[in-house]
Amino acid sequence: MIGDMNDMLARLKMVLPARWFGDITPILDAVLCGLAWAWSGLFEILQYVRQQSRLVTASGMFLDIASGDYFGGNLPRRLGETDSAFSARLRTNLIAPRATRNGLSLALFNETGRLPVIFEPLNATDTGGYNANSLGYGLRGGYGSANLPFQFFVTAYRPNVSPISNAGGYGQGPGGYNTAPMFYADLSNIPGLLTDVDIYAAAAGVLPAATTAWMRISN
């Protein structure tokens, strides 16, 4: 295999003059094996360093270091979040559009998997208009206002999380009190859980300057 001790040994012997040594060279091989072992270790380290120098292939604590370099303390690893999920989230946030309505919608969708509802009081597309076939009581449109410049309302939705593995639901079997697979649990038991704080942070990270988002989070 490329880079292992046998490969390094062969490479070292390849550059030695063939006429200097016989066919069987146990002493020379022992000396060269020591050098080959060291070079093989260095090659392995270089391969690892090469992986950690790119966000796509980085892993472990190097992803946390990259998160600190690119985002400060604004995008930490979530509890129980895997390397692949954390790496994907970092790369998504690096190139995410910002300072636009679409950027806000996309940021919240990437975080939660659900599109938010955004309402701008000064946007006729959101408010609709009388006799414009764009209103429906409780369905479409809303009251506009010129007293809320650079302000808008956002309804974000928590993700649809899956049940905890191997655990029955309330009132469902099998299992019983203190009998597997039933136990008391809450959303904090789900690895990589998205919290409301994460949702607020995702929105705050893409808002344009001098704007205010009045936000609520719903299920």
The pLDDT tens digits of the residues spanning 181-212 come to 666 666 556 656 788 999 999 999 999 999 99
Instruction: List phi, psi (to 5°) of 176.
Output: -160, -175
Interatomic CA distance for residues 65 and 57, integer angstroms: 14
**How many domains does the chain contain in total?**
3
Does 170 map to a domain?
no
Q: Looking at the structure, do residues 109 and 206 belong to the same domain, yes or no?
A: yes
Over residues 118-127, the pLDDT tens digits come to: 999 999 888 8
The residue assigned the tokens 């076939």 is 133
Does 86 map to a domain?
yes
Are 148 and 110 within 8 A, CB to CB?
Answer: no
Per-residue b or e along 12-28, where b marks 16 or more CB atoms closer than 10 Å to that residue's CB:
beeeeeeeeeeeeeeee
Structural domain boundaries enclosing 39: 5-52
Token couple for 70: 């690119």
Instruction: Collapse the DSSP code of 156 into the 3-class scheme (helix H, G, I; strand E, B; otherwise coil) and give the result.
Output: strand
User: What pTM value is reported for the model?
Assistant: 0.69
